[in-house]
Amino acid sequence: MEGQWADRSHWGDWFPVRERILQDAELSDDTLLLVDISAGKGHDLLEFKEMFPDLLGRLVLEDLGSVVKAMGRDERFAENGIQMVSFDFFKEIQPVKDARVYYFKFVLHDWPDEEVKVILNNLKPAMKPG
Ligand SMILES: C[S@@+](CC[C@H](N)C(=O)[O-])C[C@H]1O[C@@H](n2cnc3c(N)ncnc32)[C@H](O)[C@@H]1O
Protein backbone atom coordinates (compact mmCIF):
# COMPACT_ATOMS: atom_id res chain seq x y z
CA MET A 1 0.00 0.00 0.00
CA GLU A 2 2.81 2.38 0.87
CA GLY A 3 4.39 1.66 -2.50
CA GLN A 4 1.15 2.52 -4.27
CA TRP A 5 0.81 5.76 -2.34
CA ALA A 6 4.40 6.73 -3.03
CA ASP A 7 3.67 6.31 -6.71
CA ARG A 8 0.86 8.87 -6.79
CA SER A 9 1.39 12.46 -7.75
CA HIS A 10 1.14 15.07 -5.01
CA TRP A 11 -2.09 17.14 -5.06
CA GLY A 12 0.10 20.23 -5.48
CA ASP A 13 0.89 18.91 -8.98
CA TRP A 14 -2.69 19.13 -10.21
CA PHE A 15 -4.55 21.45 -7.85
CA PRO A 16 -4.14 25.18 -8.61
CA VAL A 17 -2.52 25.90 -5.25
CA ARG A 18 -1.22 29.38 -6.02
CA GLU A 19 -4.50 30.54 -7.61
CA ARG A 20 -6.89 29.03 -5.08
CA ILE A 21 -4.97 29.05 -1.81
CA LEU A 22 -2.10 31.49 -1.93
CA GLN A 23 -3.37 34.25 -4.19
CA ASP A 24 -5.75 36.85 -2.71
CA ALA A 25 -4.90 35.77 0.79
CA GLU A 26 -3.06 38.15 3.02
CA LEU A 27 -0.41 35.71 4.01
CA SER A 28 2.17 36.33 6.67
CA ASP A 29 4.37 34.07 8.74
CA ASP A 30 1.54 33.93 11.31
CA THR A 31 -1.18 32.86 8.90
CA LEU A 32 -2.45 29.36 9.47
CA LEU A 33 -2.17 28.11 5.95
CA LEU A 34 -2.74 24.37 5.93
CA VAL A 35 -3.80 21.81 8.52
CA ASP A 36 -3.28 18.22 7.41
CA ILE A 37 -5.79 16.32 9.54
CA SER A 38 -4.79 12.72 10.19
CA ALA A 39 -1.58 13.33 8.36
CA GLY A 40 -0.02 9.99 9.22
CA LYS A 41 3.67 10.15 8.48
CA GLY A 42 3.39 13.72 7.26
CA HIS A 43 4.99 13.06 3.88
CA ASP A 44 2.34 15.16 2.18
CA LEU A 45 3.19 18.27 4.18
CA LEU A 46 6.92 17.83 3.71
CA GLU A 47 6.40 17.52 -0.02
CA PHE A 48 4.09 20.54 -0.04
CA LYS A 49 6.80 22.61 1.65
CA GLU A 50 9.33 21.38 -0.89
CA MET A 51 7.02 22.32 -3.78
CA PHE A 52 6.27 25.79 -2.44
CA PRO A 53 9.38 26.78 -0.48
CA ASP A 54 8.61 30.49 -0.76
CA LEU A 55 5.19 30.35 0.83
CA LEU A 56 4.32 32.29 3.95
CA GLY A 57 2.10 30.76 6.58
CA ARG A 58 2.09 27.95 9.06
CA LEU A 59 1.71 24.27 8.29
CA VAL A 60 0.19 21.97 10.91
CA LEU A 61 0.32 18.19 11.14
CA GLU A 62 -2.46 16.59 13.16
CA ASP A 63 -3.03 13.01 14.14
CA LEU A 64 -3.74 10.87 17.19
CA GLY A 65 -1.40 11.49 20.13
CA SER A 66 0.53 8.26 19.64
CA VAL A 67 1.18 9.06 15.98
CA VAL A 68 2.24 12.65 16.69
CA LYS A 69 4.58 11.44 19.41
CA ALA A 70 6.26 9.04 17.01
CA MET A 71 6.50 11.74 14.30
CA GLY A 72 8.01 14.19 16.76
CA ARG A 73 11.24 12.22 16.64
CA ASP A 74 11.62 13.07 12.97
CA GLU A 75 13.61 16.30 12.85
CA ARG A 76 12.46 17.20 9.34
CA PHE A 77 9.21 18.60 10.74
CA ALA A 78 10.88 21.05 13.11
CA GLU A 79 13.41 21.95 10.43
CA ASN A 80 10.56 22.83 8.07
CA GLY A 81 8.60 24.71 10.71
CA ILE A 82 5.77 22.19 10.71
CA GLN A 83 3.82 22.31 13.95
CA MET A 84 2.42 19.10 15.40
CA VAL A 85 -0.89 18.84 17.19
CA SER A 86 -2.53 15.80 18.79
CA PHE A 87 -6.14 15.55 17.76
CA ASP A 88 -8.85 12.90 17.90
CA PHE A 89 -11.46 13.87 15.34
CA PHE A 90 -14.20 11.90 17.09
CA LYS A 91 -13.67 13.30 20.54
CA GLU A 92 -12.58 16.90 20.04
CA ILE A 93 -13.55 20.06 18.25
CA GLN A 94 -10.80 21.08 15.82
CA PRO A 95 -8.33 23.04 18.00
CA VAL A 96 -6.61 24.95 15.18
CA LYS A 97 -8.99 27.75 14.23
CA ASP A 98 -9.38 29.81 11.05
CA ALA A 99 -6.87 28.00 8.88
CA ARG A 100 -7.07 28.66 5.18
CA VAL A 101 -7.12 24.95 4.33
CA TYR A 102 -8.14 21.85 6.27
CA TYR A 103 -7.01 18.83 4.36
CA PHE A 104 -7.99 15.16 4.67
CA LYS A 105 -6.31 12.58 2.49
CA PHE A 106 -7.18 8.90 2.58
CA VAL A 107 -9.18 9.45 5.75
CA LEU A 108 -12.92 9.89 5.24
CA HIS A 109 -13.29 6.81 3.06
CA ASP A 110 -12.27 4.72 6.07
CA TRP A 111 -15.45 5.54 7.97
CA PRO A 112 -19.21 5.02 7.58
CA ASP A 113 -21.28 8.12 6.78
CA GLU A 114 -22.49 8.64 10.35
CA GLU A 115 -18.93 8.77 11.64
CA VAL A 116 -17.87 11.05 8.81
CA LYS A 117 -20.63 13.45 9.89
CA VAL A 118 -19.10 13.51 13.39
CA ILE A 119 -15.64 14.19 11.93
CA LEU A 120 -16.91 17.07 9.76
CA ASN A 121 -19.11 18.51 12.52
CA ASN A 122 -16.09 18.62 14.80
CA LEU A 123 -14.26 20.59 12.12
CA LYS A 124 -17.03 23.07 11.33
CA PRO A 125 -16.66 25.37 14.37
CA ALA A 126 -13.01 26.00 13.48
CA MET A 127 -13.77 27.28 9.98
CA LYS A 128 -14.51 30.89 9.22
CA PRO A 129 -16.77 31.83 6.32
CA GLY A 130 -14.92 32.49 3.08
C1 LIG B 1 -5.04 5.88 5.87
S2 LIG B 1 -4.15 6.90 7.02
C3 LIG B 1 -3.94 8.39 6.04
C4 LIG B 1 -2.70 9.11 6.43
C5 LIG B 1 -2.33 10.32 5.53
N6 LIG B 1 -3.40 11.28 5.44
C7 LIG B 1 -1.88 9.87 4.17
O8 LIG B 1 -2.43 10.30 3.18
O9 LIG B 1 -0.94 9.07 4.09
C10 LIG B 1 -5.44 7.35 8.18
C11 LIG B 1 -4.97 8.21 9.35
O12 LIG B 1 -6.08 8.48 10.22
C13 LIG B 1 -5.58 8.55 11.54
N14 LIG B 1 -6.69 8.42 12.52
C15 LIG B 1 -7.37 7.27 12.82
N16 LIG B 1 -8.29 7.53 13.77
C17 LIG B 1 -8.19 8.85 14.06
C18 LIG B 1 -8.87 9.72 14.98
N19 LIG B 1 -9.84 9.25 15.78
N20 LIG B 1 -8.52 11.02 15.05
C21 LIG B 1 -7.55 11.49 14.23
N22 LIG B 1 -6.86 10.74 13.33
C23 LIG B 1 -7.18 9.43 13.26
C24 LIG B 1 -4.56 7.43 11.59
O25 LIG B 1 -3.67 7.58 12.68
C26 LIG B 1 -3.89 7.56 10.22
O27 LIG B 1 -2.76 8.39 10.26
Q: What is the pLDDT of residues 51-101, one digit of tens each?
A: 998 888 999 999 999 999 998 889 999 998 899 999 999 999 999 999 999
Q: What percent of the chain has pLDDT over 90?
A: 71
Alpha-carbon distance 105 to 113, whole Å? 16
Residue range 31-39: mean pLDDT, rounded = 95
- Contact by Cβ (8 Å): 33, 58: yes
Alpha-carbon distance 37 to 62, whole Å? 5
Full residue range of the structural domain in which residue 77 is found: 27-126
Q: How close is the Cα of 83 to the center of ligand 1, in Å? A: 17
- Is there a domain that residue 55 lies in? yes
Name the CA radius of gyration of the chain, rounded. Answer: 15
- Is there a domain that residue 6 lies in? no
Q: Is 109 one of the catalytic residues? A: yes
**CB neighbours of residue 84 within 10 Å:** 19
Domain at 72, CATH number: 3.40.50.150
For position 54, what pLDDT does the model report?
Answer: 84
Please tell me the total count of domains within the chain. Answer: 1
Q: How close is the Cα of 116 to the center of ligand 1, in Å? A: 13
For position 30, what pLDDT does the model report?
Answer: 87
